[in-house]
Structure formats: C-alpha cells, structure tokens
Amino acid sequence: MKHAAIVGIATGCLMLAGSAFAVHSGVEAAAIRLKTGVAEAAKPAIAIANDAEAPYCTPAFKQVLQRVLNACGLTGGESRRGCQPADVKNLASISDDDFNALFTPLRERGAVIMFDDASEKLDDAGKALIEDRWVDRRGARYFFVVARASKTGTPEYNRSLSHKRANSVLFDISDKFKEPDLDKKVGLLWLGNEFAQLGKDYCAWNVSRKDRQCAAEAINRSAFVSWVDCQL
C-alpha cells in the first residue's frame, strides 16, 4: 500500500505540475502574441467604407471634377458657391467637346431638365425628373447641376439666366428634401453660352420634355443633373 500511495502521489504531482505548466505556457504564449502584435499583423486588411467608384471615373474626369469641387466651394470651408463660366473654362482646361464628352457616361444616370425660353422656372415634369434623379443617389457623394443658356441674347444675360436655372434646381431640391449640408453635396456650374454648348444629339438623352420638339437651341435651355459615382 505504501508503494502504491507513493506512486499515486508522485503521479498526481507530476500530472498537476504538467497541467499547470502547459496552461501557464499557453497563456504566456498568447500574451506574447498579444503584446508583440504578431497575431494582429496576420489579420487581413479590411476595406474602409467609401463613395462609389464607377468605371466612368477616368483620371481626366476626376481631375476636372476635383478642380471644380475645390474652386466652387464644395470642399473646404469656403462660403462661395458655384462656378461661373469663366471659372469652368479655366479650371477644366479642356475644349468644349472634351468637356461634354466627360459627361457622356452619365447619360443613363443623369437627366436634362429643360426650361422655357428666357425662363428659369421649373415645370412639373422637370421637378418630377429632378426628384427621381435625386432619390436615386446610391453611393454617390456629389450631385452636379450643369446649367446652360442658348446662344440667343448677350453673354451677360445668358450667364445670369444660366445661374438662375442652376439655382432653381438647387432650391427645388432644398425645398422638397430639406437635407442639411446640401451645399456640400450639390455642385453648381452655370455655363452661359460661352462654353460647352450641347449639340442636338443630346435630345436623345433622358430629357424632361419628351413630348416636345427638341433642337440645339432648346437643349441648351437646360440644366443637366446627375449624381456622380466617383471617389473625389
């Protein structure tokens, strides 16, 4: 019995010591991995939530938009809003056709809101189309309004009219949706008639007056509106 007791006690002590050592070692190893960051480093990187980035966001397109955003008051803390035709022409540093071509991929995403001659007043169809486009934001961060005026009239008059048309769209959105920070979402460009006039082929885009005759003069009495799915 004596020998059995000794063997039992020795075995018990060995097992207890072994278990305790294994447990202690396991915890210490985990503590070392924790402190040295070895385990943390092995973790895969996770993407950070960001704005949408559509295939049409080419470097040239983003460069123009970024310049517009910086200069027209959408980024930073400036109180200034919108860009005048001269600004856009200088900022874009590209020809009229190239400027318009940048917006071609937005044909389906955007819409052309049409106005009466010498008027900045939105009709019901225009308001409905603005609402339709506005609520379809998805992952876009900026909503661009590119207002135009036809070549009829003086440049000063057209510049002013174009400005009013851009504001009409902004006010309509503001009244209807009452969203805060709207000025940080909506970028306004008013082009007058000096830069980037639209050709007749733009009549085939998603226009607000589908039932009316569309010509080059009419399509430039407009405001092109669209969310832009680019990380800017």
Partner 1 sequence: MSSRTSRWPAALALVASILGLAFAASSTFDYTRHLDRQVHDLHCSFIPGAEAAQGADTACRTAMYSPYAALFRDAYWGGIPISLFAVGAFSFFAAFSLYVLLAGRNAPRRAPQFLLLAGVTPLLASIAMFAISLLKLGSICKTCAGIYISSILLAIASIAAFVVDRREARTDAFLSAASPAAPPPASPPGEVAAVPPTVIDEPSVFAPRPAGSPLLILGWLVALGLFAVTPALLYISALPSYSGYLTGCGKLEKPIESTGALLQVGPRGGQPATLFVDPLCPTCKALHQRLVAEGVFEQLDATLVLFPLDSDCNWMLDRPMHKGACLVSKAILCSEHRALSVLEWAYEEQETLLQNASSGGGLANIQAAIRQRWPGLDACIESKQTQQRLDKMLRHAVDNKLPVSTPQIFLGDTKLCDEDSDIGLAYAIHKLAPQLRQR
Binding residues for partner 1 (CB under 8 A):
1, 3-5, 7-9, 11-13, 15-16, 19-20, 22-24, 26-31, 33-35, 38-40, 42-43, 46-52, 132, 135-139, 141, 179-181, 229
We find the least distance from the C-beta atom of residue 87 to partner 1, in angstroms, to be 29
Q: Which helix (H) or strand (E) holds 12?
A: helix 2-36
> Which residue's CB is nearer to partner 1, number 5 or number 79?
5
> Which residue's CB is nearer to partner 1, number 41 or number 201?
41
Task: Identify the three-state secondary structure at position 129.
Answer: helix
Tokens 């902004």 correspond to what residue?
A: 170
Nearest to 197 by CA among 164, 226, 155: 155
Q: Which helix (H) or strand (E) holds 95?
A: none
We find the least distance from the C-beta atom of residue 147 to partner 1, in angstroms, to be 24
> Which residue's CB is nearer to partner 1, number 24 or number 121?
24
What are the beta bridge partners of residue 113? Answer: 223
> Which residue's CB is nearer to partner 1, number 21 or number 171?
21
**Neighbouring C-alpha atoms within 13 Å toward the C-beta of 227:** 20
Query: Under a CB-based contact definition with an 8 Å cutoff, are residues 231 and 58 in contact?
Result: no
We find the least distance from the C-beta atom of residue 170 to partner 1, in angstroms, to be 18
CA distance 176 to 179: 9
> Which residue's CB is nearer to partner 1, number 45 or number 156?
45
Nearest to 188 by CA among 75, 90, 114, 82: 82
We find the least distance from the C-beta atom of residue 141 to partner 1, in angstroms, to be 8
We find the least distance from the C-beta atom of residue 27 to partner 1, in angstroms, to be 4
We find the least distance from the C-beta atom of residue 77 to partner 1, in angstroms, to be 17
> Which residue's CB is nearer to partner 1, number 28 or number 117?
28
Query: Under a CB-based contact definition with an 8 Å cutoff, are residues 148 and 191 in contact?
Result: yes
